[in-house]
Chain A
């Protein structure tokens, strides 16, 4: 069964450092997403990506964040200068395209900023 894969599963980084979270969406999917879940809080939308550009982003997704689909298979989330409050579980998701189709989620990357 096709699945969304994320690497690494855990990432510890020092405050101010850049991190790149990687995702491989399901191959025939067209829409890609990043969500985050701060410990004990709800899952929050960060950004959606379609046709090689951002289609929507939340207020959380400020200039410190960027996304890229560099090679047609990987989908990355970069945080340029991490803050303590960026510590969270980050989920990548992908879907075929229509809003009512299922979004498939990866297992997440737990980012800890120290």
Chain B
């Protein structure tokens, strides 16, 4: 079964520092890949998605992610962290194929803390 692994349940960076949140998927066929962000007491908001176009995907709020098939990875980065980036980040996948219902499989989530 498809699975998603996010390395590091908590990541702490200083304001202005690079943000790197890791995500690896398990399937041999590259799925659709997503990053969602959850701010306190809010729902999940899409940051970016990879479907099958460019392997470097740019999203909202200055985030981007690179799909690397050889590493089965889809790590999320931001060059310079801002205090407002503090939130929970979820990597998710959706299988390709005609029978796919759009179900998302989520990773465990990574809490990003940004220190002043």
Interface residues of A (CB under 8 A from B): 4, 31, 33, 35, 41-45, 48, 50, 55-56, 91, 93, 95, 97-108
Contact partner of B101 among A42, A56, A100, A104, CB < 8 A? A56
Contacts of A42 in B (CB 8 A): 90, 106-109
Q: Which chain B residues in 18-62 approach chain A with CB under 8 Å?
A: 32, 34, 36, 41-46, 49, 51-52
Contact A99 B32 (CB under 8 A): yes
Other 4 A-B pairs with CB < 8 A, given A105-B36, A107-B43 = A43-B90, A93-B44, A99-B32, A103-B102
The reply to whether B45 and A105 form a contact with Cβ atoms under 8 Å apart is yes
Q: A42 vs B91: C-alpha distance in the bound complex, in angstroms?
A: 10
Whether A50 contacts B43 by the Cβ 8 Å rule is no
Q: Which residues of B contact A41 (CB under 8 A)?
A: 108
Known contacts: A33-B102, A48-B102. The answer to whether A99 contacts B43 by CB under 8 A is no
Which one of A45, A100, A106, A107 has the greatest number of beta carbons of chain B within 10 Å?
A: A100
Q: Is B105 an interface residue (CB 8 A)?
A: yes
* Interface of B, helix, strand, loop or mixed by DSSP: loop
In the assembled complex, the Cα of A49 lies from the Cα of B33 at a distance in Å of 21
Subset of 13 A-B contacts with CB under 8 Å: A33-B102, A42-B108, A43-B109, A44-B106, A45-B104, A91-B44, A98-B102, A99-B32, A99-B95, A99-B102, A100-B32, A105-B45, A108-B43
The distance in angstroms between the C-alpha atoms of A42 and B45, with both chains bound, is: 15
> By the criterion CB–CB under 8 Å, are A99 and B105 in contact?
no
Q: How far is the CA of A33 from the CA of B94 in the complex (A)?
A: 13
Chain A: which residue is nearest B92 at the CB level? A43
